[in-house]
Amino acid sequence: SQKIEQNSEALNIQEGKTATLTCNYTNYSPAYLQWYRQDPGRGPVFLLLIRENEKEKRKERLKVTFDTTLKQSLFHITASQPADSATYLCASGGNAGNMLTFGGGTRLMVKP
Amino acid sequence: DAGVIQSPRHEVTEMGQEVTLRCKPISGHDYLFWYRQTMMRGLELLIYFNNNVPIDDSGMPEDRFSAKMPNASFSTLKIQPSEPRDSAVYFCASRGTSGTDTQYFGPGTRLTVL
């Protein structure tokens, strides 16, 4: 079965810098990867989707890449702000019916 | 739209008691998912429905867990009897048929079994 791996250690960066989070999948290449943001005490909120045949997707200060050779997606937040502090979840989908497989998430802390 | 609604938001119960979690999906969405989130195991899919029919329940931990969706606007997840290891945050999510398979999550129910 598919496994989605994210760095479980928190990422601490200074405000204004670019945050880069990593998502690795272990088996087959998913049809797409999704990124969600989760704040404490709340449910995940969808941010971006990137398909297998897309190398890069952007939305405002967010950028996602998909490298099928490395079996990896990178999630970038440019000009980071303290309000970007949250846990970011990567999820694979499109292959196993209508289900998503989530990674464990990476907590991002942006310090002023 | 109010988004996905879950109740209760917090539930504290004693081992052996029955627990019922409730979910109202976004109107018009025909997929509904139940997840469980813990620090150790992350976000795990328990079961999902399409048009009120259970499609995949392979994530349901054991027979103590059951889920129903009697109509398009309501679903329940029941644990009977509950055990301390069931303590977790339970999320309900819904999505429509077309588009990018984006799932919309509810605020979750934090369950504590003593």
B99 pLDDT higher than 70 = no
Q: Is A77 exposed, middle or buried (0-12, 13-18, 19+ CB in 10 A)?
A: buried
User: How far is Cα A26 from Cα B27, in angstroms, rounded to an integer?
Assistant: 36
Q: What is the pLDDT of residues B1-39, one digit of tens each?
A: 689 999 999 999 999 999 999 999 999 999 999 999 999
Q: Which helix (H) or strand (E) holds A82?
A: none
Q: Kindly state the percentage of chain A with pLDDT values over 90.
A: 78
Asked if B30 has any chain A CB less than 8 Å from its own CB, the reply is no
B93 pLDDT higher than 90 = yes
CA distance A1 to chain B (A): 13
Alpha carbon of residue B44 to chain centroid: 11
Of A43, A98, A101, the CB nearest to B101: A98
What's the pLDDT band for A96 if we cut at 50, 70, 90?
Answer: low
A63 pLDDT higher than 80 = yes
Q: What is the pLDDT of residues B56-76, one digit of tens each?
A: 999 998 899 999 999 999 999
| Chain A CA closest to residue B88 | A41
| Chain B CA closest to residue A5 | B42
A23 pLDDT higher than 90 = yes
Q: Which helix (H) or strand (E) holds B57?
A: none
A27 Cβ partners below 8 Å, 6+ apart? A1, A2, A3
What's the pLDDT band for A31 if we cut at 50, 70, 90?
Answer: confident
The strand ranges marked E within chain B are 5-7, 10-13, 19-24, 31-38, 42-50, 53-56, 65-71, 74-79, 88-95, 104-105, 109-113
CB contact under 8 A, A42 and B55: no
A21 pLDDT higher than 80 = yes
Asked if B99 has any chain A CB less than 8 Å from its own CB, the reply is no
A109 pLDDT higher than 90 = yes
Give A-chain residues touching B48 at CB under 8 angstroms: 98-99
pLDDT at B56: 92
